[in-house]
């Protein structure tokens, strides 16, 4: 494939950082995790806890917000299934909501209709790194007495009105998986200033063993311990943290690059009347994680994808709506989401691409689209 859909950017620095940890023959949650957390804390200006994946971050974020089995959690259907699995893993019920057709962010008028006495939280997804809904969701949470546990997996480094996503608000959950804005191989983190939540996450990420999480960083552990609640083995390994530490130093350069490539797409494609671009703007500080657009009236998206693949351009579909999956099937329809789904397409966006690659991709793409009408 000439143009991959997404790609991590790994240099010798990450490779030697991993090699160094391997030589210590200590792979648990130790000094590297402590250092990564310190660096993330000065980045966000807030307490940050690292965990094994972004999915685990959302799950523990919900647990820390005291979401209980049987509670209902509002969530847009148009998200990765990870968001849903994280919610249902707590025993809570994900309640599928619409997205706004112009921004793909959770539709709050629709969410409002789905509130019951069991609704305890809302999980907004900052789709593509955009934050159009952020202020309104915070207000919505306050008005309806709901916790806001954000799935910010796409939004590491994104700013909202000049402020870093995660540096304000209730609980923000990030992912460092292989293709996110920064990677630690696998990993994630939770950012909040809620002390109760932080204390809970510290123990639940390490099997609920009280106080062990802190000791591990000094290569100690508890042999005589107690457990008061359900926990999981969701801590981060030093191997992964070592990668994350290096990646964080590249964030500024790579964020700028993502913004420039995104803007190149917008410049190239905005005049094409067959296409609809979403209401996202890097001028607000958004760091685009993926480039998604809509092709209204497209009859056979999969055939278009196959054609593009044969021409060397990998594409994606973000995402199959969760309320259409067997496990999360709703008795109601979500007409906006269902109408969007067959018409959305994701084009390559990652830091290994150049401006002229985007020109090339756009030319191939626009020519291919024309043959579908
Ligand atoms: C990547 C992603 C996750 C999950 O993160 P992992 O680190 O892969 O577990 C959750 N939600 C969204 C929207 C994502 O893109």
Residue-level pLDDT at 216: 79
Residue-level pLDDT at 212: 81
CATH of the domain at 290: 3.90.1150.10
Note whether residue 95 is domain-resident.
yes
Query: 255 and 239 in one domain?
Result: no
Please tell me the distance between residue 274's alpha carbon and the centre of ligand 1 in angstroms. Answer: 30
Among 78, 82, 154, 237, which residue has the most ligand 1 atoms within 8 Å of its CB, making it the best to mutate? 82
Query: 157 and 26 in one domain?
Result: yes
Per-residue pLDDT tens digits for 71-123: 999 999 999 999 999 999 999 999 999 999 999 999 999 999 999 999 999 99
Q: Is the CB of 234 under 6 A from ligand 1?
A: no
Query: 219 and 265 in one domain?
Result: no
* N-term to C-term CA, the chain: 26
Q: Is 4 exposed, middle or buried (0-12, 13-18, 19+ CB in 10 A)?
A: middle
Query: 294 and 267 in one domain?
Result: yes
Q: Rounded mean pLDDT of 263-270?
A: 98
Gap between the Cα atoms of 165 and 161, Å rounded: 10
Query: 263 and 201 in one domain?
Result: no
Note whether residue 44 is domain-resident.
yes
Note whether residue 182 is domain-resident.
yes
Note whether residue 177 is domain-resident.
yes
Helix, strand or coil, per DSSP, at residue 6:
coil
Q: How many domains does the chain have?
A: 2
Domain range for residue 351?
A: 251-370
Q: Are strands 188-192 and 171-175 parallel, antiparallel or unpaired?
A: antiparallel
Query: 238 and 314 in one domain?
Result: no
Check: CB of residue 79 under 8 Å from CB of residue 125: yes
Which of 225, 245, 265 is the last residue before a domain boundary? Answer: 245
Per-residue pLDDT tens digits for 11-38: 999 999 999 999 999 999 999 999 999 9
Per-residue pLDDT tens digits for 225-238: 999 999 999 999 99
Note whether residue 145 is domain-resident.
yes
CATH of the domain at 116: 3.40.640.10
Instruction: Give, as one character, the DSSP assignment of residue 114.
Output: T
Query: 67 and 200 in one domain?
Result: yes
Residue 211 to residues 37, 192, 205, 236: CA-CA distances in angstroms?
17, 19, 11, 16
Note whether residue 5 is domain-resident.
no
Residue-level pLDDT at 224: 86
How remote is the C-alpha of 281 from its chain's centroid? 18
Average pLDDT for the chain: 97
Per-residue pLDDT tens digits for 123-143: 999 999 999 999 999 999 999
Residue 217 — very low, low, confident or very high, per pLDDT cuts 50/70/90?
Answer: confident
Q: Is the CB of 282 under 6 A from ligand 1?
A: no
Note whether residue 6 is domain-resident.
no
**pLDDT at 164 > cutoff 80:** yes
Per-residue pLDDT tens digits for 31-65: 999 999 999 999 999 999 999 999 999 999 999 99
Residue 271 — very low, low, confident or very high, per pLDDT cuts 50/70/90?
Answer: very high
Greatest CA span in the chain, whole angstroms? Answer: 69
Per-residue pLDDT tens digits for 318-337: 999 999 999 999 999 999 99
Query: 100 and 219 in one domain?
Result: yes
Query: 180 and 275 in one domain?
Result: no
Query: 230 and 313 in one domain?
Result: no
Q: Which atom of ligand 1 is nearest to the CA of 188?
A: 7
Q: Is the CB of 318 under 6 A from ligand 1?
A: no
Q: Rounded mean pLDDT of 355-361?
A: 98
Token pair 């994280």 in the structure block, residue: 86
Among 80, 99, 237, which residue has the most ligand 1 atoms within 8 Å of its CB, making it the best to mutate? 80
Q: Is the CB of 174 under 6 A from ligand 1?
A: no
Residue 276 — very low, low, confident or very high, per pLDDT cuts 50/70/90?
Answer: very high
Residue-level pLDDT at 20: 97
Gap between the Cα atoms of 199 and 13, Å rounded: 33
Q: Is 368 exposed, middle or buried (0-12, 13-18, 19+ CB in 10 A)?
A: middle
Q: Is the CB of 89 under 6 A from ligand 1?
A: no
Note whether residue 191 is domain-resident.
yes
Q: Is the CB of 80 under 6 A from ligand 1?
A: yes
Which of 198, 227, 245 is the last residue before a domain boundary? Answer: 245
> What's this model's pTM, rounded to 2 decimal places?
0.97
Query: 221 and 173 in one domain?
Result: yes
Which of 180, 214, 245 is the last residue before a domain boundary? Answer: 245
Q: Rounded mean pLDDT of 158-182?
A: 97
Contact residues for 281 (Cβ-Cβ < 8 A; gap 6+): none
Q: Whose CA is nearest to atom 7 of ligand 1?
A: 54
DSSP states along 277-340: E-S--GGGT---S-EEEE-TT-S-HHHHHHHHHHTTB--B-S---GGGSGGG--SS--HHHHHH
Query: 65 and 140 in one domain?
Result: yes
Residue-level pLDDT at 218: 78
Contact residues for 42 (Cβ-Cβ < 8 A; gap 6+): none
């Amino acid at each position: 494939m000439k143009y991959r859909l997404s790609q991590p950017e790994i240099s010798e620095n990450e490779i030697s950082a991993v090699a160094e940890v391997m030589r210590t023959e200590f792979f648990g949650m130790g000094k590297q995790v402590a250092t990564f957390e310190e660096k993330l804390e000065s980045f966000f200006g807030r307490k940050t806890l690292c965990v094994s994946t972004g999915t685990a971050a959302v799950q523990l974020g919900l647990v820390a917000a005291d979401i209980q089995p049987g509670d209902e959690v509002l969530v847009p259907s148009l998200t990765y299934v990870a968001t849903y699995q994280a919610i249902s893993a707590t025993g809570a019920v994900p309640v599928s909501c619409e997205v706004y057709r112009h921004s793909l962010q959770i539709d709050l008028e629709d969410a409002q209709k789905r509130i019951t006495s069991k609704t305890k939280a809302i999980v907004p997804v900052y789709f593509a790194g955009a934050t159009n809904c952020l202020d309104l969701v915070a207000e919505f949470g306050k008005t309806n007495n709901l916790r806001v546990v954000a799935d910010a997996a796409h939004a590491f480094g994104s700013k909202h009105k000049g402020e870093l996503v995660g540096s304000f608000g209730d609980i923000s959950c990030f992912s460092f998986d292989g293709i996110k804005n920064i990677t630690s191989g696998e990993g994630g983190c939770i950012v909040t200033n809620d002390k109760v939540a932080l204390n809970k996450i510290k123990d639940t990420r390490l099997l609920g063993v009280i106080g062990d999480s802190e000791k591990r960083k000094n290569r100690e552990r508890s042999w005589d311990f107690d457990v008061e609640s359900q926990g999981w083995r969701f801590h981060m390994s030093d191997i992964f943290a070592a990668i994350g530490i290096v990646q964080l130093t590249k964030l500024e350069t790579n964020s700028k690059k993502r913004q420039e490539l995104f803007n190149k797409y917008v410049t190239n494609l905005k005049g094409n009347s067959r296409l609809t671009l979403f209401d996202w703007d890097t001028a607000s500080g958004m760091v685009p994680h993926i480039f998604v657009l809509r092709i209204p009236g497209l009859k056979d998206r999969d055939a278009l994808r196959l054609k593009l693949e044969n021409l060397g351009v990998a594409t994606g579909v973000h995402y199959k709506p969760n309320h259409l999956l067997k496990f999360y099937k709703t008795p109601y329809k979500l007409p906006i989401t269902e109408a969007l789904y067959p018409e959305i397409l994701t084009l390559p966006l990652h830091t290994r691409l150049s401006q002229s690659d985007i020109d090339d991709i756009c030319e191939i793409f626009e020519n291919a689209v024309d043959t579908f009408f």
